[in-house]
Structure 1
Amino acid sequence: RRAPQAGLEPHTHWRQQFPRPCITTEALRSKQCCPLWAGDSSACGALSGRGSCEDVVVSELRNGPQYPFSGVDDRERWPLVFYNRTCRCAGNFMGFDCGGCRFGYTGEQCLQQRPRVRRNVLHLSEAERHKFISYLNLAKNTVSLDYVMVTGTYREMDNGSRPMFSNVSVYDLFVWLHYYVSRAALLGGPNNVWEDADFGHWAPGFLPWHRVFLLLWEQHIQKLTGDEEFAVPYWDWRDARDCQVCTDELMGGRSPLDPKLISPGSVFSSWKVICSLAPEYNIRGVLCDGTAEGPLLRNPGNHDRGFSSRLPTWADVEFTVSLPDYDTGAMDRTANMSFRNTLEGFGDPVTGLGSSRELHMHASLHVFMNGSMSSVQGSANDPIFILHHAFVDSIYERWLRRHQPPRTQFPQENAPIGHNDGYFMVPFLPLHRNGDYFISSKELGYDYAYLLDPQADIKSKGEKPSVSLVILLILATLLILLILVILLTTKIFQCFHYLGFRHLLSSSIQRCSCEQERILQSEESVLL
């Protein structure tokens, strides 16, 4: 196992696990993660009123029956296996040392609101696209000075006596986070895992977890680049027939040498993936250790159509948003008429029934990409993951605004492990509860361009209208033509009717004149 580099100073504003100050033997054995804030050299910035070091209180409400174990996985009752005391921040302060601000706020005292707008990546200017790609590549090639990834279980660390962590780049930190939340539970030894458990998918926490993931990713890019106005772009894939973002100007086209690889004209062709070999880890009974595992793979559209026969349509999205219940039944992949399950892709977006034979909506995009993005644990290796999940989050936002659900609609108990309202999201530090993100994005400091202006996507220069819109326009045109034909036919009929009437009238007048002339001639003959 690789050890982290020594002597690197922590930056106090980034917000993810595991923070470097908390991976020492002392911190792990004491189970305390309350770093000193650089502003006043006190734990959690207590002297400045920013926060305090407090006991972690986890929810004790029941989980669902999908995970029949207890005390075997480090993610259970997160984060108690590693830490039972962490910083609890006051007011708008946030961060593992309370040195930063809550989402949507900025300033020394975190009192200034800073709203951002996430835009369609297809509508970015050439300069904006170039900047976005350069930010991604910088994150991929910059070692995080604040965070490391865990490479062993707490048991393997001898209860903290032998720390097992590894350096990771800023981008790959998020690849690892997504792997860690979705990995199989290690029950001890080779070939001894439980794969039917996921702390960030297949259940109610799916949307809140990925919302926090994107917010944190956004913050990391802002700090890395110094661009505090940066907002994650999205890819609106409604009615898409191919991978519109798979070009060298954006996320990379196909390699002419191998359709599974990225074009050499794209910077992403040099990217290496990590945490992508879940079956191998399960056989060995180990965690991903961050070793590079080969190039980024993608072969969009050449997937097994038995898993997903088509990409989502405009109608699929509208049906999904119309479902009034956030989650239903067992709150897993079997849930019927569940907004969450349908959006995640396990419910049919035509019928709303769960346990769908095919994968739809969110899941269908992962299958369609047919490469690194198609396995749950390693999917964040592909930067399209960010664009895709930003749009999924926008659909979640549409549902929240339309239905305005109370907090009580998010399940308090009996959801699969990791997904109850009060469960702390794995593996984030500082801590975030699922239910805290069952709120509008406006309260978190961001919005979506197409929600601010529903016509923006259509009006944008060079953007083709969707298939649904084209069909609607064709139907409208046909209706107008039909009305015109009816009006024209009516007019012609009226004209013929009028002409016929005139003909009859003319004939009558002519007959009348002839009769009158005959009578006059008769009268003249009598007089003579």
Structure 2
Amino acid sequence: MMSNSEDKIVFLSKFSVLLVVHLVFARAQFPIACLNDNDLREQKCCPVVTVGNSVGAECGGPGRGACKRIESSHCHVETPDDPAHVLAYLKNPVSEPSRYPWPNRVFKQICECEGNWAGYDCTECKFGYVKTADKSVCVKRKTPLVRRNYMTLDDDERDYVKQTIADMNDRSKSPSRYGVLISEENFSKSSHLQSNLTAEDFKFGISAYEFLTWIHYYTAKDSGVPSGNYKGHDYGPRVDFAHNGPSLLTWHRYFMLLFESELQRVSGNDSFAAPYWDWMDRQNRDHLFTHSDIFDGNETSLVGVFRDFRVICCEAGFAIPLTEPNIMRRSPKRGPGSLCNASQFDVGIPLVRRDYGHQYNIVKWLPSARDAWDLLVNITHYDVASFNLFEHSPSSLRAGLEGSVPLPGKHYCSVGGLSNESFAEEMHNAVHIYAGGVFTNVAMSPSDPIFYLHHSMVDRVFERFMIKLQQLGTLRYLPESGVDPGHNANDCIVPSFPLYRNREFLQRSTDFGYVYDTLPLLDTEPERPAEEYDQCNNSNASTNMPRPPLTPSSYQPSSVGKSAYGRLLGMVSALVSQLYDLL
């Protein structure tokens, strides 16, 4: 634990640092250095790097890295054990041109870094490592960064956090070294691993914040695959590489490390740690919505340095809320599988909006310490079958923290003919739905800066839950194979670059160079206020029956459809799209 004076160092560098233009370094696709027609034609990303006084070499040469062909052993690829609908999806280059198998559709040769070097050109350090003074080697960070509760920061520290995030969204101050893919028309429609991409298929000149938002959008965007059926459930067009399955927590741990590294580079302060929003703190959680301008000033509009934040890659059919269609203007319509185009960064982009506590009328309270305790006492493994958004077993750490596990004694809504059990939206999902607005949209939610404080908190609870699995001896990424792309243990994280596998991020935070100021103790059973047993916020709900206590040995996964977070978004999107077509 750092002293108060040391804490200040994390946040209080001179604000003049923020006026310097920073080329932002990240660990994801697609590096501008490789987005020229020659490298795209050769499907090769191995930039020449000069180290010291040596002659430049690809990937920095011996001691740094070498250009290597991506072998099938690098990442999991589909096997006969994978679900039939996934096999059909993956083998159709029209439905999924660029994301799978990652990154072979775009690059087949990339840098393989040595030692503790990382980055697409081996000029960065691995997460948790820093360069020595002469920048010749990467060494383990001596003192882990401390991620702190946002509500414990003083006014100057909060202002520093907000200004740094705002500067990340300023293209003149924080231009990204990465381009984003805006067209898949030049991918081969006949070969699964060939492309005819050119530089014109990418957009350049975006900010670091826009790039991070795009990464999340690209990972969770709709595909061109028609509706599929798996174990009686209709997946529809969305095949998500980072949600509704085992990779949720590992993918977002990786993503938060990217965000934290951008905070450090934009601020010029390599000790900058990403704060968290403790939504389990009953005393402060509601106070945030009325007294903190990083959250809101008037329940819908962002204020202060975030007042001009906009929704990147706004999806067709999305408006907030349905009863107030003018609160968010919709961007040009995109069909299933089409990418966010260049205009959706620059033209007619809607402002970020929120709608606290009202979205879909299915989440009345933010998660509490009692909710976390109810989950902790039952988890036995990182994840359990069926390893997807239909998994409701309290044995699963991932399903519980993602939010699909009904908690004992709580009342849930019955909406649209679905049983109340289907509308158990807790923990991670509940916060997204409670905040409302763009935060309820899976792909676009990082457009709202509270995304990062929320997911820092999710990672904090994840860290606490991992302690129990370590004690049980069951801290292992499951499954090894056989589930949707992007969610198996050895699947490469989309769109990581260099390549990272899911299982690499199921480790304690100290392995990545950070800790939390505190972890939720959850050693004794917390009390729950009587009103919080009723999670239903819909006065017209037909059923408000409490759930009985659940145990891993007696509970069977529901045969009802997907959770409200996934199903309702699809229902709302389809409804608004139909209305839009009539206009």
TM-score range, shorter chain: 0.7 to 0.9
CA distance in 2, matches of 1:360, 1:216: 26
Q: 2:315 aligns with which of 250, 266, 277?
A: 277
Q: 1:28 to 1:239 in 2, by over 3 A?
A: same
SS at match of 1:117: strand
Q: 1:90 to 1:297 in 2, by over 3 A?
A: same
Q: Which residue of 2 aligns with 1:414?
A: 482
Q: Which runs of 5+ in 2 are unaligned?
A: 1-20, 189-194, 227-234, 318-331, 413-419, 531-583
Q: 2:183 aligns with which of 135, 152, 163?
A: 152
Q: 1:315 to 1:347 in 2, by over 3 A?
A: same
Q: Is the 8 A contact 2:27 2:120 kept in 1?
A: yes
Q: Which residue of 1 aligns with 2:232?
A: none
| C-alpha deviation, 1:310, in angstroms | 2.6
Q: Is the 8 A contact 1:51 1:98 kept in 2?
A: yes
Q: Deviations over 1:396-426 (max 9, x none)?
A: 1112122125565431101221111111111
Q: Is the 8 A contact 2:32 2:178 kept in 1?
A: yes
Q: 1:164 aligns with which of 192, 201, 205?
A: 201
Q: 1:205 to 1:284 in 2, by over 3 A?
A: closer
Q: Which residue of 1 aligns with 2:164?
A: 135
| C-alpha deviation, 1:360, in angstroms | 1.3
Q: 1:243 to 1:182 in 2, by over 3 A?
A: farther
Q: 1:148 to 1:105 in 2, by over 3 A?
A: same
Q: Is the 8 A contact 1:34 1:53 kept in 2?
A: yes
| C-alpha deviation, 1:301, in angstroms | 1.6
Q: 2:106 aligns with which of 64, 68, 82?
A: 82
CA distance in 1, matches of 2:409, 2:39: 51
CA distance in 2, matches of 1:398, 1:13: 30
Q: 1:334 aligns with which of 361, 376, 390?
A: 390
With 222-231 and 308-317 compared, the bigger mean Cα shift is at: 308-317
Q: Which residue of 1 aligns with 2:345?
A: 291
- List aligned pairs for 1:6-405, cutoff 5 A: 13-39=25-51, 40=54, 41-47=56-62, 49-57=63-71, 58-60=75-77, 62=79, 63-65=82-84, 67=86, 68-69=88-89, 70-72=91-93, 73=96, 74-107=98-131, 108=135, 109-114=137-142, 115-142=144-171, 143-153=174-184, 155=186, 159-161=196-198, 163-167=200-204, 168-187=206-225, 194-238=236-280, 240=282, 243-247=286-290, 249-255=292-298, 259-263=299-303, 266-279=304-317, 282-283=334-335, 285-289=337-341, 290-292=344-346, 293-306=349-362, 308-322=363-377, 323-335=379-391, 336-337=393-394, 338-350=396-408, 356-404=422-470, 405=473
Greater helix share, structure number: 1
Q: Deviations over 1:359-400 (max 9, x none)?
A: 111011111111111101110001000000001011111121
With 241-250 and 131-140 compared, the bigger mean Cα shift is at: 241-250
CA distance in 2, matches of 1:311, 1:377: 21
Q: 1:25 to 1:349 in 2, by over 3 A?
A: farther
Tell me how large the CA RMSD over aligned residues is. Answer: 2.9
Q: Deviations over 1:149-191 (max 9, x none)?
A: 1111163596124541113211111111110000011259xxx
Task: Name which one, 1 or 2, has greater alpha-carbon Rg.
Answer: 1
CA distance in 2, matches of 1:13, 1:162: 20
CA distance in 1, matches of 2:429, 2:266: 31
Q: Is the 8 A contact 1:243 1:300 kept in 2?
A: no
Q: Deviations over 1:446-492 (max 9, x none)?
A: 111113x959xxxxxxxxxx994999xxxxxxxxxxxxxxxxxxxxx
SS at match of 1:245: helix
Q: 1:176 to 1:113 in 2, by over 3 A?
A: same
Q: Is the 8 A contact 1:61 1:412 kept in 2?
A: no
CA distance in 2, matches of 1:410, 1:392: 19
SS at match of 1:111: strand
Supply the AA of the counterpart residue of 2:431: L
CA distance in 1, matches of 2:489, 2:212: 23
CA distance in 2, matches of 1:470, 1:357: 21
Q: 1:85 to 1:393 in 2, by over 3 A?
A: same
CA distance in 1, matches of 2:477, 2:159: 42
Q: Deviations over 1:198-217 (max 9, x none)?
A: 00100001100000000011
| C-alpha deviation, 1:14, in angstroms | 3.4
Q: Is the 8 A contact 1:333 1:341 kept in 2?
A: yes
CA distance in 2, matches of 1:83, 1:162: 14
Please, what TM-score do these two structures have when normalized by structure 2?
A: 0.70
Please, what TM-score do these two structures have when normalized by structure 1?
A: 0.77
SS at match of 2:335: helix
Aligned residues: 441
Q: Is the 8 A contact 1:252 1:267 kept in 2?
A: no
Q: Deviations over 1:476-514 (max 9, x none)?
A: xxxxxxxxxxxxxxxxxxxxxxxxxxxxxxxxxxxxxxx
Q: Which runs of 5+ in 1 are unaligned?
A: 1-8, 456-465, 472-528
CA distance in 2, matches of 1:10, 1:131: 17
Q: Is the 8 A contact 1:347 1:355 kept in 2?
A: no
SS at match of 1:450: coil
| C-alpha deviation, 1:123, in angstroms | 0.3
CA distance in 1, matches of 2:447, 2:120: 25
Q: Is the 8 A contact 1:183 1:195 kept in 2?
A: no
CA distance in 1, matches of 2:68, 2:281: 50
Q: 1:388 to 1:244 in 2, by over 3 A?
A: farther
Q: Is the 8 A contact 1:129 1:249 kept in 2?
A: no
